[in-house]
Amino acid sequence: MSNFDYIVLFSLFIGNLFVGLFFVGKIKTFDYFASGGRSFGAFAIFATLSASFMGGGYTLGNAEKVFNHGMIYAFALLGFSLKEILVGYFIAPKMEKYKSCISIGEIIGKSYGKNSRIFTGIFSVLICLGILAAQIGAMGYLIQTLFDIEIYYGAIISLIFILLYCILGGMKSVVYTDIFQFLLLFIAMPIIFFIGMDHVGGWNNIVNSVPKSFTNPFIIENFWIIFIPLFLTFMFGEAFVPPYVQRLLMSKDLSKTKNATIWSGIISIPFFLMIGALG
Q: What is the pLDDT of residues 147-202, one digit of tens each?
A: 778 888 888 888 887 787 777 777 888 888 888 888 888 888 899 889 988 888 88
Listed in sequence order, the DSSP H helices in the chain are 3-21, 30-35, 42-53, 62-69, 72-76, 78-86, 104-112, 114-147, 151-199, 203-209, 212-215, 223-236, 242-247, 254-278
pLDDT surpassing 90 at residue 232: yes
What CA–CA distance (Å, rounded) separates 247 from 192?
Answer: 29
- pTM equals 0.83
In this prediction, residues 205-218 reach a mean pLDDT of 89
DSSP letter for 38, please: G
Burial of 52 per CB tally in 10 Å (0-12, 13-18, 19+) = buried
Predicted pLDDT at 23: 66
In this prediction, residues 242-262 reach a mean pLDDT of 86
Name the more confident of 254 and 27.
Answer: 254
In this prediction, residues 37-47 reach a mean pLDDT of 86
Burial of 115 per CB tally in 10 Å (0-12, 13-18, 19+) = exposed
What CA–CA distance (Å, rounded) separates 152 from 115?
Answer: 38
What CA–CA distance (Å, rounded) separates 243 from 178?
Answer: 12
Full residue range of the structural domain in which residue 112 is found: 3-278
What CA–CA distance (Å, rounded) separates 199 from 106?
Answer: 51
Of 275, 224, 240, 233, nearest to 86 by C-alpha is 240
Out of 13-17, 61-65, 229-233, 253-257, pick the least confident: 13-17
> What does 71-113 look like in DSSP terms, one character per residue?
THHHHHTHHHHHHHHHIIIIIGGGGGGGTT--SHHHHHHHHH-
Size of the chain, expressed as the number of residues it contains = 279
In this prediction, residues 67-95 reach a mean pLDDT of 92
Residues 264/50, Cβ–Cβ less than 8 Å? yes
What CA–CA distance (Å, rounded) separates 136 from 101?
Answer: 28
State the total domains in the chain: 1
Q: What is the CATH number of the domain that holds 204?
A: 1.20.1730.10
